[in-house]
Structures are given as C-alpha cells and as structure tokens.
C-alpha cells in the first residue's frame, strides 16, 4: 500500500510511504527508497541537495502497530487515516486466532502455519480497511478473509500431518473428532 505525503516546509518534495507484505516499510522519493541510517533502525536520510539533508523516522502508531507514522524534526506526521478502534480489532483478529491455534493444537508446524496464514490475513485486512468502501463491505470482506485463513490452515496442517506420519496424524484425528462430535 502506498500513501503520499509531504514534509512541513518542503511541499515541493513528494514522498510516498510504502508498506507491504509482512511489515516491510519504505519511504520512497522520486521512485527510489531512501537510505536507512542503520540497517536495523527506522531512521532514514533524504538528500535533497549538497547542503540539505533531512532525517526522517518511522514510528509505529499506538494501537495500529503495523502502520507507521513519520517523524520529522520531532513532529509526528500522520500519513494514513485514523481507523476506529473496532476496525483495528477486526484487522488484528487473525492474530488472536493464531494464539488459539498454537495453544489448543500445539506443535511447531501447526503454529508456524497458523502464524503464516494469520499474518497474511492481517496484511489483507489492512488493505481492505484502508480501501474506499463502505464499512459493512469492509467488515464482511475481513471476516471472509479470517474464515479463509482458518480453512487454508486446516487444509495445510492436515496435509502436512498426513505427509509426516504416513497415516492419520494427530491433527487430522483432532479435526475428525471435532467434526464428528459437533451437534
């Protein structure tokens, strides 16, 4: 996702905040990403000319931690629109499901697959909620994404369990037990 913004005092400098799959964040100027001060920090240098060098920093928002704000000269620049708390809860609902999957089923493969599908669902939900649609459509699409991620996790974990054990594995037996005993 890309969000254009400008810095105070530099309206002629068009910048783009780009954040994508699984938390990769970049600031783009003239089609090129800005250089980081250090590889493990969120601080960037914007070289406008030989004399002008601007330092920018990405700071996570308080509740919506995947979406950063830009800090320039101590001033926080809100690049993305503010979402209501209930929408942020719906966005991060797949992470809650990941904790449930790891705690109830257990296992490294099952937890890893749940984490992968949960993170992809959160990324998709972020794209859905920053789109320009009605709130009802966004919520319905987000719940479909949540259910699809659970379904894909069940299929992938069952197939992996069957491949690893060459017979009905623990996970497939658990799923069969749940399905058989559901009223």
Instruction: Tell me the pLDDT tens digit for each residue of 118-148.
Output: 888 988 998 899 888 899 999 999 999 999 9
139's tokens: 């919520």
β-partners of residue 25 are 19
Mean pLDDT within 42-63: 81
β-partners of residue 57 are 43, 71
pTM: 0.72
Instruction: Lowest mean pLDDT of 53-67, 73-87, 125-139, name the range.
Output: 53-67
Q: How far apart are CA 167 and CA 33, in angstroms?
A: 50
Q: How far apart are CA 22 and CA 65, in angstroms?
A: 12
Mean pLDDT within 57-79: 82
Mean pLDDT within 50-66: 79
pLDDT digits (tens, 9 = 90+) for 4-24: 888 888 888 889 888 766 667
Most confident range, picked from 48-52, 56-60, 172-176? 56-60
More confident residue, 42 or 71: 71
Domain ranges of the chain: 2-77, 85-180
pLDDT higher than 80, residue 86:
yes
- Average per-residue pLDDT in the chain? 80
Q: What angle, rounded to 10 degrees, do the helices at 170-180 and 135-165 form?
A: 130
3-state secondary structure of 160: helix
DSSP label at 84? P
């Amino acid at each position: 996702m890309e969000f254009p913004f400008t810095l105070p005092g530099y309206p002629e400098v068009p910048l783009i905040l780009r954040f994508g799959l699984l938390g990769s964040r970049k600031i783009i100027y003239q089609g090129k990403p800005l250089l980081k001060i250090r590889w493990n920090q969120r601080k960037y240098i914007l070289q406008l000319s030989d004399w002008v060098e601007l330092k920018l920093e990405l700071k996570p928002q308080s509740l919506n931690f995947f979406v950063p704000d830009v800090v320039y000269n101590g001033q926080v620049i809100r690049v993305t629109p503010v979402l209501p708390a209930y929408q942020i809860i719906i966005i991060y609902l797949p992470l809650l499901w990941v904790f449930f999957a790891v705690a109830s089923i257990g296992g490294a493969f099952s937890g890893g697959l749940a984490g992968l599908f949960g993170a992809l669902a959160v990324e998709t939900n972020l794209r859905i909620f920053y789109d320009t649609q009605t709130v009802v459509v966004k919520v319905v699409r987000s719940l479909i994404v949540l259910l699809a991620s659970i379904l894909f996790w069940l299929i992938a974990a069952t197939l992996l369990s069957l491949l690893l054990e060459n017979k009905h594995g623990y996970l497939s037996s658990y799923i069969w037990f749940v399905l058989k005993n559901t009223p």
